[in-house]
Amino acid sequence: MSANRKTMLTSAIASRAIKDSFVKLNPASMMRNPVMFVVEVGTVVVLLLTLFPRFFGTERDVGFNLAVFLILLFTVLFANFAEALAEGRGKAQADSLKNTKKEVNANKVVGGVVKVVPSADLRKGDVVVVSQGEMMPGDGEVIEGLASVDESAITGESAPVIKEAGGDFSSVTGGTRVVSDKITVRITSDPGESFIDRMISLVEGAKRQKTPNELALNTLLTSLTIIFLVVVVTLGPIAGYLEIDLQVPVLIALLVCLIPTTIGGLLSAIGIAGMDRVTQFNVLAMSGKAVEAAGDINMMILDKTGTITYGNRMASEFVPVGGSDVRTVGEWASISSLNDETPEGRSVLEMMKQQGMTFDASLAAGADFIEFKAETRMSGVDLPDGRKVRKGAVDAVKKWVAAQGGSIPVDLDAAGDSIAREGGTPLAVAVDNRIYGLIYLKDTVKPGMRERFDQLRQMGIKTIMCTGDNPLTAATIAREAGVDDFMAESKPEDKIALIRREQAEGKLVAMTGDGTNDAPALAQADVGLAMNSGTIAAKEAANMVDLDSDPSKIIEVVSIGKQLLMTRGALTTFSIANDIAKYFAIIPAMFILAIPEMSVLNVMGLGSPLSAILSALIFNAIIIPLLIPLAMKGVAYKPMSASKLLSRNIVIYGLGGVIVPFAGIKLIDMVVHLWV
């Protein structure tokens, strides 16, 4: 991962945030945050009282009013700064992504002829050829060939990745560079709709939506603000009836200190920072809701191929059956793979070369190639001499041979089961009515997966592996990877049914996948994490994309989601607890001259009524920037029950929210009292 994505704060980000703090003073922008909008309105009212003292009859209070205005202004600016700072990292990444969008020429295939056209002229469905050293002109899928592609502009990783036709590693992204070989690509997006365009839009915050939890908290904060607003508005007439003179700036100071300005000023920053923290792990979140939901998931469903395993099933051995020999199996397997562009097909030909075996390729001259289909689960060739060669799933080939009137070798099932028990995939090779042997395809579990699944288990998250493999193969891979359960021979509709069944029981489900067949399940899941190496369909269906294509990254996403919820809860507890100290600072100051008996509430021993009010306001303002690092970094996540978490918040942030303001206001008053 590139270093700039890990940087929490730079001078450029801070400078932009300071500028945006003033831009965000626009009332149309402030109205999105009701708490801080009330503070801004109060700031404007006090400013008018300061600028036109004769009109309002406040000549003797100009100094105090000016001090209140400046403190309130900085309160609003600090809140805006927190939000702008959180947005800054996303904007910085967006600027970096925009630099990767260069106008390049594309080798477009038109009527079998290659024409050079600007990439901006490409449309969905166009076919282009991209050779070594050339930039990918747009998003697409490889339809022919194999090449190494440098995706460092997107993922930050310098190591190139292999992109090839067929399978789940065919997706390519505009702005990446081919470093070897040549591939033919079908464009899958129109200009302005590419993956990079979507990333830029998302990280800039244009499509960020408030999560349900954030909306509920906003409703609570708005309700508290309205309640305190009514209290303060009615306090003036009541004080007047008792012949107590309460100036408007004093009432505004009381309102600002009592409403939850701390969490109100930091709420947006917490949510945005949560999404940005996900981005620091090279995961692109389509919405804040996805990040928040990740903090509450109970179950995680993983596709096997390309997610738990590398997904490149390679031929590793030819296994003869029915009295055949290895060379014969290899020859027919190679003939059936001559026009097979899938990784498995190419690996058969590669293994023949590695083992020094040859075959007569001229037999397939003019043959009809039979593509693999999900219905038949076989592929092969129909030779000009009338012979039919097939390779595919063992049970499918057995049915095909039986239909030709052939017999099944007695040792076929045992050989196939042996391969499956070792975690491999057996492909049967047959010519007309005879099965000659098996191709042993191996798929390897990615390193460290067992440890990562242990971590998920400690978080209380159950893991289920879904695969189209037979039960024996699925059980072997599941055991090696360390998942809690598995579903073998699963189809896309089976994955959706499993997710819906768990959701109906009130569980939140996460799904990771990379193939087109995973797209429906990714869309159905509460958290859908698609691998960037996967297909366009998978990435469009998910609400998160892992640019590093590491399925275990869900652990970081879950931790960040839980951290987001914990941070919001902790700072809300701290903010509300703050009001207790502010109450003891301002209420006595307001009435102590008219009602000397209220001095008993001045438990902090503040110097004077004016210094008490100003000290409370100053503390209310400076606590916001002091808490910005916590809002940006988040409260450290530690697995624990809800009751323990509540107790921890009350002890640390509830008690701290009471003690810190008492100490802070007292210290500020010791300085302010000298000036007043």
| CA-CA-CA-CA torsion sign (317, 320, 324, 328) | negative
**Which single residue is written with the structure tokens 């920037």?**
625
Structure tokens at 660: 């810190």
Instruction: Supply the DSSP symbol for 637.
Output: P
Q: Catalytic site residue 546?
A: no
| CA-CA-CA-CA torsion sign (583, 585, 590, 593) | positive
Beta carbons within 8 Å of 333's beta carbon, 6+ residues apart: 315, 318, 348, 391, 429, 437, 439
* Max CA separation in the chain (angstroms): 113
Instruction: Supply the DSSP symbol for 309.
Output: B
How many residues are present in the chain? 676
Q: Are strands 177-187 and 314-320 parallel, antiparallel or unpaired?
A: unpaired
Q: Indicate the SS3 state at residue 357.
A: coil
One-letter-per-residue 3-state SS of 192-211 = CCCHHHHHHHHHCCCCCCCC
Q: Are 465 and 474 in contact (CB under 8 A)?
A: yes
> Using CA atoms, how far apart are residues 165 and 262, in angstroms rounded to an integer?
54
Structure tokens at 233: 């508005």
> Using CA atoms, how far apart are residues 83 and 267, in angstroms rounded to an integer?
8
Q: Of residues 20, 276, 303, 469, which has the active-site annotation?
A: 303
The H-or-E segment that residue 439 falls in is: strand 434-442
Going by the annotation, the residues of the binding site are 340, 344, 372-379, 391, 514, 518
Q: Indicate the SS3 state at residue 639.
A: coil
Going by the annotation, the residues of the binding site for ATP are 340, 344, 372-379, 391
> Using CA atoms, how far apart are residues 673 and 618, in angstroms rounded to an integer?
13
Instruction: Supply the DSSP symbol for 4.
Output: G
| Sequence-ordered strand ranges (E) for 77-176 | 105-110, 113-118, 127-131, 140-150, 161-164, 171-172
**Which single residue is written with the structure tokens 């998978």?**
538
Phi and psi of 175, rounded to 5°? 100, -10
Enumerate long-range contacts of 411-418, CB under 8 Å, 24 or more apart: 411/321, 411/322, 412/321, 412/322, 412/438, 415/319, 415/321, 417/472
Nearest CA among 307, 665, 334, 673 for reference residue 513: 307
**Which single residue is written with the structure tokens 């007043």?**
676
Dihedral-angle region of residue 581 (phi above 0 means left; psi in -120 to 50 means alpha; beta otherwise): alpha
Q: What's the one-letter identity of residue 314?
A: M
Structure tokens at 507: 């569980």
Q: Is 353 exposed, middle or buried (0-12, 13-18, 19+ CB in 10 A)?
A: exposed
Q: Rg of the chain over CA atoms, in angstroms?
A: 33
> Using CA atoms, how far apart are residues 108 and 123, in angstroms rounded to an integer?
10
Phi and psi of 562, rounded to 5°? -65, -40
> Using CA atoms, how far apart are residues 563 and 270, in angstroms rounded to an integer?
10
Going by the annotation, the residues of the binding site for Mg(2+) are 514, 518
Q: What's the one-letter identity of residue 253?
A: A
> Using CA atoms, how far apart are residues 449 and 219, in angstroms rounded to an integer?
42
Beta bridge partners of 455: none
* Residues belonging to the active site: 303
